Amino acid sequence: MPARSRKLLFGTLAIVVLAVAVLATTLVATQPSQAAGSFGSYRPRQEYTEQVTESFYLPMRDGTRLAVRLDRPAVAGRAADGKFPVLWQHSLSIDRKPEDGAGPKTGGIQTMPTLTAYGYVVVQVARRGNGQSFGVRRGYNDRLEAGDAYEVTEWLAQQPWSDGNVGIYGCSNTGDAAMHALTVRPPHLKAVLAGCFSWDKYDAWRVGGISAQWGFGPSRTVEQDLENNPVDGDDDKTLLRQAAIEHQKSTVLADMWREMPYRDSYSPLVSSKFWSEGSVGSYADQIRASHVPVYVMGGWRDELRGQGIATLLNVPGSRLLIGPWKHCENAGFALVEEAHRFFDEHLKDVDTGIDHEPRIRYATPDSDAADATGLTWKAAETWPPAGTTSSAMPLDARSFTVRTGVQCPTDPGSGSTIQPCPIPEAGASWAGKPLGADRELTGTPVVDLTVRLNRPDAHIFAYLEDVGPDGKTTVITEGRQQVSLRAKQPAPYTLPAGVPWHRAYTQDSRPLAAGESAQLHFAMLPTSYLVRGGHHLQVTVTGYDPRETGVLPDADGARIEVLNGSAVELPSASGK
């Protein structure tokens, strides 16, 4: 078989991968070291100069075959003798594609297989109904997938090249998959690194009862699935085609989400109240009982950042990293070094120093920050950080007409990295006074609106914005709430103090009567952001967002009145 080659970058090292049934990869050879690292920096000496790769099918308890790719340490072109800890990812494809949360935008996660140089076996397993695997995808992070994760974890622990210590990692849907693996408590699962996942699926996919603008995949055609690389020995893609044909019976996720407008909605497509089944938080007791260390990562420009904070507050001993990033990005930060440090601590019993450090690390960007380069990382033990205070920004009475055709002035992106944009013409804006000094906003802003509509229902969007002296407007954070689902209840899990929660059951829906006003109390997404002196804060309220996928049929032309007494509670860091 002719060799195929490609280059991977790991730090400053070029790693050449030769892809055959068993691949030989040249790394730089040095001696192992037990030296401790520090936050975001961990460079022990490498132990192996080569890597071998193979792929195959692994049957599950019901006979469904999952595609597996193994990357193993090697010597002289052959897998190294000995037993090693194992890291694995429950992905959409063993090719590690962007939609797995493992593509170019997440350079760190993509290069995790280079940890074979440090004595790890690194494994990709495509989830059933996806990629090269057979089977049907019933839902999205359902109990079938969790059961598969249990089997895979225990199978990995029992292999002759495994020392029985297994860690799982992932971001986006693979972050969800990693956390769901923990919910079934495989005995040999020792550590979890998960980014940008949903603790509460309803609150992630339907913030304030309003449909998200992402999360409708993966639904692929046979032809798209055939673009995947087959497992070893399936050179003519016969097995890959068979698997792709099976995938066509999978649940169409867009249809499933659409038929579940309430948290207690039942989906006939999957015969389940799937918001509960698919939520990591539904299994909080199992996660806590496992005592498995969890490291959560997120970004201040990712819509799931609040989900990571909820995880931190509900899983004792968990750790949290949040940078100035979009979904699953890590620009300016050595994510793989930090992941390596975490896994060495818990799979190799190396004292890397990580367990002696604060639980939370976060960066505070301003309007000019594109990544973590040059930013100061801050530490905290609780969220919000100790000493955080809040103050109200009052909003006087104003009204506006909803215009559903308003577009973003710049490209907001697409999919899971889509960003909010300033659209003052779509609603009403309230500007504060220019700041005399820098002000750090760290925590969760909370919106308190009294509104009156000329419709029974509306979608309300609120944006907190930074306006510079030159008029440049940057959206700091945002929140949204469907008026009919405004009723508040105590959350079934811990949230930051003062953050409201809406149960959003079918019985909680209460449209407005003619002339009736309603009080809305909802959270914006958490943030840490530095507003520079000379800039001013602005709040914009609209009845439409250009990214919206579930616009109400009668939204256009609706009249929304914001009444006196409305305000936004702004969190400020201590002394800022």
CB-based contact 202:263 (threshold 8 Å):
yes
Domain boundaries 19-30+47-206+241-380, CATH class: alpha beta
First-to-last alpha carbon distance for the chain, in angstroms, is: 64
Q: Torsion angle of alpha carbons 442, 444, 450, 454, nearest 10°?
A: 110
| Residue 518 β-bridge partners | 451
Look at the block and give the residue holding tokens 């639904």: 219
DSSP H or E run through 286: helix 284-290
Tell me which amino acid residue 142 is: D
Distance CA 550, CA 573 (A): 36
- Give the type of residue at 24: A
Handedness of CA 185, 133, 112, 365 (dihedral sign): negative
Q: Which tokens hold the place of 389?
A: 């205070």
Instruction: Write the DSSP assignment of 66-129 as a string of letters.
Output: EEEEEEEEEETTEEPSS-EEEEEEEES-TT--GGGTTSGGGHHHHTGGGGGGGT-EEEEEEPTT
What is the pLDDT at residue 373? Answer: 80
- Read off φ and ψ for residue 552, nearest 5 degrees: -65, 145
Q: Is 253 helix (H, G, I), strand (E, B) or coil?
A: helix
Specify the DSSP element, H or E, that contains 341.
Answer: helix 335-347
Q: Are 74 and 48 in contact (CB under 8 A)?
A: yes
Per-residue model confidence (pLDDT) at position 25: 41
Query: Angle, nearest 10°, between helix axes 143-158 and 173-183?
Result: 80
DSSP H or E stretch at residue 309: helix 305-314
For residue 162, list its beta bridge partners.
84
3-state SS, 133-197, equals CCCCCCCCCCHHHHHHHHHHHHHHHHCCCEEEEEEEEEECHHHHHHHHHHHCCCCCEEEEEEECC
The DSSP 8-state label assigned to residue 576 in this structure reads -
**Amino acid found at 504:** A
Residue 333 contacts residue 341 (beta carbons within 8 Å)? no
CA distance 434 to 537: 8
The token pair at 229 is 């690389």
DSSP 8-state code for residue 272: B
User: Residue ranges per domain, the chain?
Assistant: 19-30+47-206+241-380, 389-572
pLDDT means per 10 residues, the chain with 576 residues, are 31 31 38 64 94 98 98 97 98 77 60 95 98 95 97 99 98 96 99 98 96 72 95 98 97 91 97 97 98 98 97 98 94 93 97 96 89 86 95 98 88 78 91 97 98 97 97 96 98 97 98 95 98 97 90 94 98 76
- β 360-363/319-323 pair status: parallel
φ/ψ of 369, rounded to 5, equals -80, 125
Encode 85-107: b = buried (16+ Cβ within 10 Å), e = exposed: bbbbbbbbbbbbbbbbbbbebbe
CA angle 57, 63, 69 (to 5 degrees): 15
State which fold the 389-572 domain adopts: Jelly Rolls (2.60.120)
Under a CB-based contact definition with an 8 Å cutoff, are residues 321 and 297 in contact?
yes
Cβ–Cβ under 8 Å, residues 51 and 23: yes
Answer for the pair 153, 167: CB distance below 8 angstroms, yes or no.
no
Task: Identify the DSSP state of 230.
Answer: P
The kind and range of the H/E element at 335 are helix 335-347
Indicate if 389-572 has the same CATH topology as 19-30+47-206+241-380: no
- List all residues 6 or more positions away from 473 whose beta carbon is below 8 Å from its beta carbon: 422, 424, 465, 466, 467, 538
User: Nearest-CA neighbor of 119 among 30, 19, 16, 32?
Assistant: 32
pTM score: 0.92
CA dist 97 and 339 (Å) reads: 20
The residue among 263, 139, 255, 253 whose CA lies nearest residue 208 is 263
CB atoms within 10 A of CB 204: 23
